[in-house]
Structure 1
C-alpha cells in the first residue's frame, strides 16, 4: 500500500485568519460536497468550474486510495463513510490544535510586523482560551498595535506573567462573594494587590454542552451527572474552566470521581471539548455558549463569569497597554462581541484593583485574639 505523508505549510495573505481555520483543498472540497450535494453546486460555491472540481475529486480519490463520494442516479451526491470519518477526524484534530496554531501564527505575525515596521507597538498576551480575544487582536491591529496572543490555562497564563514571558495575562472567574477555596488556592499565589492591576475585558456565559436533542428547554444539572451514564469530557488541569467545574461540584456536594470521564483525557480549549461531543466521543462537557453554538450543540447555562486581563502596575501606562485599553473602551469591541453567543463587555477597558474586583479573595487573614 502506498504511504501517504502529511505535509504542513503556511502562506502570507492579505486577509486575516483565526481559530481552527486551516485551509486544505481536500477538506474544502469535501465540506462543499457535503453541504451542497452535487459537483455543480459545490463548484459554484467554490468559484470553480465543474471540470476542475471533478478532476480534483478524482485526484484525491487516487491519492487516498479510497472512493470519496457515492453516486446514485437522481439523488444527491453523498460522501462515503470513509470520507465522513476523514472529515470528522480532521475537524476535531484541527480544533484541538487551535491554541498551538494561534501561537505559531502570533509568532510569525510578530516577526512580520517587526520586519515591516520596527516602530509598531507590540504586546505579548498569554491568556486562557477565549473566542473573543482573536477579535480583540484584529481590532488592535487596525490601531497599529500587534498583539502576540498565546492561549494557555488561566494558571499557566498567570505564571507566564510572573516569569516575565508576557506583559498581559488573561484569566476568568465567576462572581463569588462567598469565596472559593478552589480558585483561591490556584490563583491567589499568582496575584498580588498593589503589584498587579486588572483590566476589564468581557463577560461570558459558561455551562454544559451536549449533543443537540431538539428540546428547546433542555435541563441538566451537575448533580444529575453521577450515575447518569453520560460520558464527560473535561478541560485540562489549571484551566479556568476546570477550576470552575471543580468549584461548582464542591459547592454542590457532588463527587467528581463519580462522573464518568471527569479525569480522563482532557481537552485544551472550549472548541476542542465541543468537537469531541459533536464527534460522539463524549456526551457532555463544560464550555462557553459560543463554542456550543459553533458546533450545533445544546447548551445548559450554569454561571456568568468575568474575563479579566492583568498586568504589572508599572506596565499599566506603557504605550502598548494604553493602546489595548483604548481598544477595549471603544464602541468597536462590544460590537465585535455581538457575533458570539453569551458574550458582553460591561466595564471593558476599566482599570480595577484586585481587592475591589475580587472581593471573595480574602487577602488578609484575621489575627487571632489575644495576640496568640
Structure 2
C-alpha cells in the first residue's frame, strides 16, 4: 500500500496558490489525458518532453504498472490503471475540498496573526459555492480581510452560526419557496426575524450535470426518474438536497423516484467529477462545476444564495469590510462573468420577512412547473 504525505508552501500572492493538494503524478496524467501526446502535455505544464517522458517512466517503475500506451505514431493514451488512478485522485480532491480549505484557512490564520496581530479575520461556514472560494482570495488581495471559509451543508452552517462557531453563514434556496415547503422546513426554525439579518450575495442557476452532449437526453427530473439513470445524491443537510426535494415536488415525483447512488457527495465538484468519470449519469449542481469539467449543463431553477449573521454582528469591523467589498462594482463585475451566477443585492442588509417568502404570513402559492423548469418570480 502506498502512503500519502502532505506538505505546504508559503506564497506572497494569491496568483501562485493552487487549489487542492497538488501531486506531480496527477498533474502529468491529467496533462497527457487532455493533450493526447507527451509533447503537448509537456507544453501544457511548461516542461520539456524529456522531463515528462522520464518522470512517467520513473512512476511506472515505482508503481509497477504501465501508465501510458506508448505505440509509435499513435496518440498517447492512459492505461486503464492510470485512468482509474487519475479519477480516484480527482474524486478524492473534490470530496476533500471542504477539509482542504478549512486546513488552509487554519494555517493562513496562524501566519496572518504572526505577521500582523491586527489582521481582520472572519469565520464563515457555508454551503459549497465556487463564488465564495473566489471571494476568499479576492478579500485577502483587495481588503486584507481573511475569510476562514468552512464548507458544510446549509443547515449545518446556520447551526454553526447559532452556536457561535462562526460569525457568518451561507445558505441557498429557491426564491419563491412556499410556506410549507422543504426549504421552509429546513431553515425556518433556525432563522429568527429580528435576531438574524441576511446579507445579499448571489443568484445562481442549478440544474442537471450530464455527460458531454447529453447522450441520454435528460432534460427534466422526470426524464432522470423514468430512465432510472444513475443519479448522484448530495449529503444530508446540504442546500442542494433540499432544492432537489423542491424540484421533485414541483414535478409531482416522490422523493425516492430517482435511482440514486449509495454515497452522497458533499460538494458540487465531487458530484460533477462522478459524472465526468462515468461513475454516474447525472447530478444536480451548479453550472460552474459542469463547465469546469467539460460537461453539459441543463438548467432547472434559479436560486438565491444568502449570507446571514446575527443582528449584533453587523457593526463588527470584519463584517462591515466584507459588505463594502461585496457592494463594490469590481467584485460584482467579476461575479457576473462566471457561468450561472449574477450578483443579487450584494452586500445589502436584507430583512428575513421581506426576502424569504416563507416568512410572509400571507398564503403562498407554489410556482408552476413548465417544461421541467421551475418558474420563479423575481
Please say whether Structure 1 and Structure 2 have the same fold, judged by a TM-score greater than 0.5.
yes
Shift of 1:184: 1.4
Q: Distance in 2 between matches of 1:201 and 1:227?
A: 36
Shift of 1:24: 0.8
The C-alpha deviation readout for 1:64-93, integer Å capped at 9, x for no partner, is 111111112222322222111111221111
Contact 2:173/2:305 (8 A) holds in 1? yes
The C-alpha deviation readout for 1:158-206, integer Å capped at 9, x for no partner, is 0000000000000011111643431112111110100111000111001
Moved more, 44-53 or 89-98: 44-53
Query: Using a 3 Å threshold, how does the CA distance of structure 1 residues 185 and 363 change in structure 2: closer, same or farther?
Result: farther
Q: Give the superposed CA RMSD.
A: 2.1
In structure 2, the residue matched to 1:181 is 181
Does 1:354 find its partner at 2:352?
A: yes
Tell me the TM-score normalised to structure 1 length. Answer: 0.91
Q: Distance in 2 between matches of 1:23 and 1:100?
A: 15
Does 1:150 find its partner at 2:150?
A: yes
Does 1:281 find its partner at 2:279?
A: yes
Query: Using a 3 Å threshold, how does the CA distance of structure 1 residues 276 and 159 change in structure 2: closer, same or farther?
Result: same
Contact 2:323/2:347 (8 A) holds in 1? yes
In structure 1, the residue matched to 2:53 is 54
Does 1:167 find its partner at 2:175?
A: no
Shift of 1:9: 2.0
Describe the SS at the equivalent of 2:354.
helix
Q: Distance in 2 between matches of 1:47 and 1:226?
A: 45
Runs ≥4 residues deviating over 6 A: none
Please show how residues 82-121 of structure 1 align to structure 2 within 5 Å.
82-121=81-120
In structure 1, the residue matched to 2:296 is 298
Does 1:221 find its partner at 2:223?
A: no
Describe the SS at the equivalent of 1:257.
coil
Describe the SS at the equivalent of 1:258.
coil
Please show how residues 257-268 of structure 1 align to structure 2 within 5 Å.
257-261=256-260, 264-268=262-266
Does 1:12 find its partner at 2:10?
A: yes
Shift of 1:252: 2.7
Describe the SS at the equivalent of 1:225.
helix
Which protein has the larger Cα radius of gyration, Structure 1 or Structure 2? 1
Equivalent pairs counted in the alignment come to 361
Describe the SS at the equivalent of 1:204.
strand
Q: Distance in 1 between matches of 2:38 and 2:122?
A: 46
The C-alpha deviation readout for 1:86-106, integer Å capped at 9, x for no partner, is 112211111111111111111
Tell me the TM-score normalised to structure 2 length. Answer: 0.90
1:270 to 257, 263, 268: 268
